[in-house]
């Protein structure tokens, strides 16, 4: 008889961002080997700007559902994501407590962010909540080997497991013509660096930028940047998104913070060069010697990076290298093997 898992967190397609996409991939893979039930956070992007009282009602409802489901089904494993904010930490802790109080299963905690130390050191309450959460966690899943070393100072090293991100759908387009110079694909959020990006291109009319993403609360402000050289579009997904990435000469990601962004993995798979800030774990995705990093929240640094790209002579070689790195380190098959080793290791 298969063991069973109760998952709590955000999932695509109800909400689309890197963590929800990673969660969806992992749940879909685990369902081939385990019985999986889900308590899904029913958020939409615009909920992220709502009052805490509105979010709190949803969390109480979810915690209550976790308690009653586990009391009824007695799950072997509880799988959830550590949300790195005070409010998110309370949510994570509440969900774990609810599971523990209603059964005897093991808790698997997944961290998708690259700024844990910043969060941890910010305040006493952050450290207190983190230590409580870790105290009730059996296995911790992180994104990279360097991150594992970082967490080993706060958690039992023997129970930390590395699981790099991957992609649910893997495509390959052959001999697609480059029809777009630069592309941005992410949600239209200030922390994604969207306003610095739009400012650079609004001041450089000879450069063309095509943007795709979901709006949060700034749609009117973003749309004002739409001109002859800046095209603002809504959300794009599936094969259409991969085709757009493949048609672009370069993808630009000016984020202030990241974990392992799936959009970079998608670009690597397509062999599309990325111009990006070196924040979070991006340096471990592309390598320290990657030629197209720029400083976050820095318009001049972004402009210099674009100029460097325009005159770069080895674009073809770099494109091939990115494809190889994706295939050898981040492919779906490799991800599946690591994920199953983490969960099925308890059965040995």
Checking if the pLDDT of 82 tops 80, the result is yes
Q: Which residue has the tokens 């941005």?
A: 184
Checking if the pLDDT of 18 tops 90, the result is no
Structure tokens given for 316 = 């073809």
Residue 113 to residue 19: CA distance in whole angstroms:
9
What CATH number labels 180-329?
3.40.50.2000
Q: What mean pLDDT is predicted for residues 223-236?
A: 94
Contact status, residue 275 vs residue 292, Cβ threshold 8 Å: yes
Please name the residues in contact with 322: beta carbons below 8 A apart, sequence gap of 6 or more.
Answer: 267, 268, 271, 272, 273, 274, 286
Checking if the pLDDT of 127 tops 60, the result is yes
Whether a cis peptide bond, with omega within 30° of 0, leads into 334 is: no
Confidence of residue 45 (pLDDT cuts 50, 70, 90): low
User: Which of 71, 65, 112 lies closest to 88 in space, CA to CA?
Assistant: 112
Strand segments (E) across the chain = 4-9, 35-40, 77-81, 106-110, 139-142, 160-162, 180-185, 209-212, 230-233, 248-253, 273-277, 293-294
Checking if the pLDDT of 47 tops 60, the result is no
Residue 286 to residue 172: CA distance in whole angstroms:
20
Checking if the pLDDT of 52 tops 80, the result is no
Q: Which H or E element spans position 308?
A: helix 299-311
pLDDT at 109: 98
Average confidence score pLDDT of the chain: 92
pLDDT at 55: 78
The distance from CA 290 to its chain's CA centroid, rounded to whole angstroms, is 21
- Equal CATH topology for 4-166+331-347 and 180-329: yes
Work out the percent of the chain whose per-residue pLDDT is above 70. Answer: 96
DSSP character at residue 50: S
Taking domain 4-166+331-347, whether its CATH number is 3.40.50.2000 is answered by yes
Q: Which residue has the tokens 């490799």?
A: 334
140-149 tens-digit pLDDT = 999 999 999 9
Residue 210 to residue 231: CA distance in whole angstroms:
5
Confidence of residue 58 (pLDDT cuts 50, 70, 90): confident
pLDDT at 16: 83
pLDDT at 43: 65
Structure tokens given for 234 = 């809504």
Q: pTM for this one?
A: 0.89
Q: Which of 76-80, 235-239, 329-333, 342-346 has the lowest mean pLDDT?
A: 342-346
pLDDT at 177: 77
Contact status, residue 100 vs residue 7, Cβ threshold 8 Å: no
Checking if the pLDDT of 348 tops 50, the result is no
282-313 tens-digit pLDDT = 999 999 999 999 999 999 999 999 999 999 99
Q: Where are the domains of the chain?
A: 4-166+331-347, 180-329
Checking if the pLDDT of 163 tops 50, the result is yes
Q: Which of 4-18, 41-55, 134-148 has the lowest mean pLDDT?
A: 41-55
Q: What mean pLDDT is predicted for residues 203-217?
A: 92
- Between helix 262-270 and helix 18-30 the angle, nearest 10°, is 80
């Amino acid at each position: 008889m298969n063991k069973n898992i109760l998952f709590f967190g955000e999932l695509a397609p109800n909400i689309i961002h890197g963590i929800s996409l990673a969660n969806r991939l992992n749940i879909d893979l685990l369902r081939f080997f385990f019985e999986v039930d889900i308590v899904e956070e029913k958020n939409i992007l615009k909920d992220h700007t709502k009052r805490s009282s509105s979010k709190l009602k949803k969390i109480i409802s979810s915690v209550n559902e976790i308690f009653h489901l586990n009391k009824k089904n007695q799950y072997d494993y509880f799988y959830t994501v550590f949300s790195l904010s005070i409010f998110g930490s309370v949510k994570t802790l509440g969900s774990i407590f609810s599971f523990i109080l209603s059964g005897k299963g093991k808790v698997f905690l997944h961290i998708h962010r690259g700024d844990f130390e910043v969060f941890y050191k910010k305040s006493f309450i952050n450290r207190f909540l983190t230590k409580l959460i870790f105290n009730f966690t059996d296995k911790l899943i992180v994104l990279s080997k360097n991150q594992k070393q970082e967490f080993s100072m706060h958690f039992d090293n023997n129970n930390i497991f590395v699981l790099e991100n991957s992609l649910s759908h893997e495509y390959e387009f052959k001999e697609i013509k480059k029809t777009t110079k630069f592309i941005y694909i992410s949600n239209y959020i200030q922390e994604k660096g969207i306003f610095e990006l739009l400012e650079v291109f609004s001041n450089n009319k000879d450069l063309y930028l095509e943007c795709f993403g979901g709006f949060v609360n700034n749609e009117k402000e973003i749309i004002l940047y739409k001109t002859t050289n800046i095209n603002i579009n809504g959300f794009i997904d599936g094969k259409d998104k991969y085709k757009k990435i493949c048609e672009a000469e370069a993808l630009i990601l000016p984020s202030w913070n990241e974990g392992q962004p799936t959009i970079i993995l998608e670009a690597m798979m397509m062999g599309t060069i990325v111009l990006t800030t070196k924040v979070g774990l991006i340096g471990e995705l592309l390598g320290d010697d990657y030629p197209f990093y720029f400083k976050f929240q820095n318009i001049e640094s972004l402009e210099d990076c674009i100029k460097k790209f325009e005159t770069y002579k080895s674009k073809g070689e770099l494109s091939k290298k990115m494809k190889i790195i994706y295939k050898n380190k981040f492919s779906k098959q490799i991800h599946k093997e690591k994920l199953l080793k983490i969960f099925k290791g308890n059965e040995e």
